[in-house]
Structure formats: structure tokens, C-alpha cells
Structure 1
């Protein structure tokens, strides 16, 4: 997605020190990679000193979160979310430290609209959605359950731990994810596209008429 609208949003909407930390958390969460203070300052059109201070505050806030699986780390002047070292021994060998950028849009859409019909994801992402669902399921980040001719997709505990979500139950994860997107002023399609800018994706907006609240799903994690 073109970054111009987002830059206009930050410029036209003054960010207080408190909300700047929240915006930085959303950006680093969505980026899925390390970012320098200079990159963040340019994106937000804020002074580097202000961004650096907000990152330090955010780091303290995350450190104080009870039972958080993630920590905000500064490595060689770049900031990134990573799993706390104390949890590493508990992670399965198949766990991947990083999710390929190409999978982030599908992961975001599923989290936002779960329990999401796989057919709806295909409508939004095209045929690539089938491969992305398979890869996300193989990493243990989503669960799949048959629902007629399609599948219902939901996030798992591992998804919540990976993205630092304070909730695990899929409906609560959905609520949390939507709030994070709302803070950035983005629809689900806009958020998904922004997570993989190199892919230059064209993502259709979600049809609310097709959003169905089903009974709780027992999804294996």
C-alpha cells in the first residue's frame, strides 16, 4: 500500500507523547522487522529525539506487562519485537522466529475477521490465499475447521504469543486486533496491505454481509 496516505494521517493528526508510544508499537508490531529511529521518525514526521524517548517509554511499558511473551529490544540502533529469551526453551523446534512478510496480510485479515471463512480470504487475497493458509497453519499460527464447503480460520495461542496479544481466545484476539487497527485509522484491507509493502498487493475490502458469528470453535493449537 502506498505510504503517502499514512504520512498525511500522522502530519494532520498531532501525536501526543503517550499516543506516540502506541503508534510506534503498532508500526513495529506490523512491520515484523527491525526499524531504526531514523526510519520511524521519517515515517511519522517527528523529531528523532522524540521518537527515541517514546521507544524507551514503550520498552518500559512492555517490560511491565504481566506474562508478556514479547520484549522490545534495541539492537545496533534498530528496534524490534522478539520473544523473551526465558521462553525460548518452551518453544517447539518447528517454531520460526520470523513470519515471512508475504504471510502477514493473510494473518492480519484472519485475526481481524475470525472466525473467517477461507472462501472470504480467497475473495480478498486471490488464489494465493490457499498457500498462505497452509503455511500459517504449518507454523501453528492459525487453526482450520471444516464448515460446509469451506473452512473456518481462527488464530491460536501461538499467534497471540507471537504478536504480543494479551488475550488468547479468538474473539478477544479479534477485538484487540481491531482496536489496534482503529488506532492507526486503517480498515482490515489497508492494514493487511501495509504489512507487506514489497508485495504491492491489491486487497478487496471485506464484505460485512458475509461476516458470520459462529459458535465457539475448538481449534487445535
Structure 2
């Protein structure tokens, strides 16, 4: 492997320059050796009769460019690569088309006006007047330039996602395309399935890393556990939805909170399934004549939903997170322990497990 030639080729295709730190990581070469190789290239280009030169932008960054004396005439012959900010605007036009210029300005800012003019002049987009704004769409030249076989919207969207991922990686893909992102904490991924939402981001919003905080910047709706809003709002200023997962009614309410983004067919099917399962457990609990003594509001809500009588002299029922406290107090009245933590099932299965534990526990107590 010729290291110098690889660095030369990389500078040639980069367009915006490269820093030695980045090259060092990719090629597993020390920064000092990279700087020596680039210095050697600079000297070689100075000796050659060529229209290109390598310049040092700062202590760590270098770029290959057309020599200033040739730049004007070269720009007339070959317009050159699309600069990243303009390419990002073009990506958004292609992905969201037809899109109004006004909407694009809302997403990208006032620089869009200059970008649109450049893209129109280069033949990549058409602009059609629409009231006080313009409607933007890509042209056949756009498809040809990017090697897209068809001008079909689906094909174009797939290609744009590929190009955008190359520019920004998976994490920044939504931001690059100007897509609104829904994010959930790991516990609530199954809620996305219930709603038929396939595009979302999973983030630990309770103790986020610096990368996760950065990834929250383009999230407009964040789903977290109930009671954590004040903590999460330190890192996130968008819409926070607190998810409850105690009863079947909670699950239905969670789905309805996402009615503006869910797939109605999938959501309706999920709600029907939830209602049927609730009726199953309610009917199963009808034969129980034992009273229960709930130790938390969560347990009280489940008992109320099952129409089980509540009394201070009933069977003690507590969630697992209260068990250590009860054991520490040497309580002999530990009847039924309801699992809440460490369950791998989705939300629906977790709720089912709570109901089953209470019903089966009370039935066993009755037979004693």
C-alpha cells in the first residue's frame, strides 16, 4: 500500500479538505508521518507544471484545490462538485418533493434562497410559482447526475437516503434529511410496534451520553417513563410524553397519545387486542372472593380494574421494588409480589404478567 498515493487521492476527492487526525485514524498512521507525506506532496506539486496545488488550511488540515489563477476559467468549463450545504438542501428537496420553498426555509434557514438559485441554475431542480412561494421538484438531470435509473419518487428517495447516510452516518440521517424524529427509551420500543411506527430512535434519555444528547437535537417527540420529565427536560426541550404501563387502559391511552403519527390500522388492531385481553382477565377474576391489601397505588389500580375488593385485612400485595423494604422490616405479611422490573417482555406482556400474578396469587391463597 502506497501511503502517499492514498493520501493524495483522498485530498483529490475530498473537496473540502482533510485533517490529519481523521486520516490517522482511518489509515492507522501517526499524525507526524501523515504531515511528512503531505509536506512531500506539497513540494512535488510545487515542482510540477500542474493546475492543482495542496494548501495548508490550519495546523492540522490540508486541501487540494485549483490554483487561483485558473479558478475563474475552470468554473465556467466545469462547475464542480456540489458543496455539502447545497447538497443537503438538494437532498431535502428530493426526499420531501414536492416541497414549497417556504417550508424548506423553515427547515434549513434563509441560506435556502441561495441554494435554490444555484440548484436551479445547474438544472437540478424546477421551481414553479405557488402563491407567494415556489414549489420545488428535482429534474431528470438530477437523476442522471446521481446515477438514478428512474425518476420515480420511491427510487429517488431510496437513493437520497443512501447518499445522505454517506454524508452523515446513520445517527445524523434524520437531521440531514430534515425529518422529524420520534424517540423512545429502550423500555418502550414495543409501543412503537403497537402503533405501527417503524421509524424511531432509541435513546437512554435518563442518563444520556454526549452523543445521545446531540441526537436529541432533532427529536420532536420523546417517550419516557412517568415521573422523569423534570430530569429529562435538563437535556431536551421538545414534547415529552410520559408513558404509563400499569393497566390495559394505560396501554390504550399511550397509543392514543400518538394518534397524529400512528398507523391507524395497526393501532386499531392493537387496541382491540388489548381490550379483549382485559376482558379475559376481568372474567377470570370474577370467581375470586378474597380481599386484597395493596401497598402501592399501582397495585390499587390493577385491583380496581379487576373489581377485586380492597381491605386493610386482605392479602398483602406489593410490587417487587418494595420487597427489600418489607424484608428489611421483617414483615411476615408478604403475600403476593408483583413483578415490575427485569422483565424482557414488551409492554403488553408486562401488563399481562402483573394481572396474572395477582389473579393466580389470590386463587392460591384462597385454596390454602
Return the TM-score normalized by structure 2: 0.27
Q: Greater RCO between the two (CA within 8 Å, min separation 6)?
A: 1
Q: Which has the larger radius of gyration?
A: 2
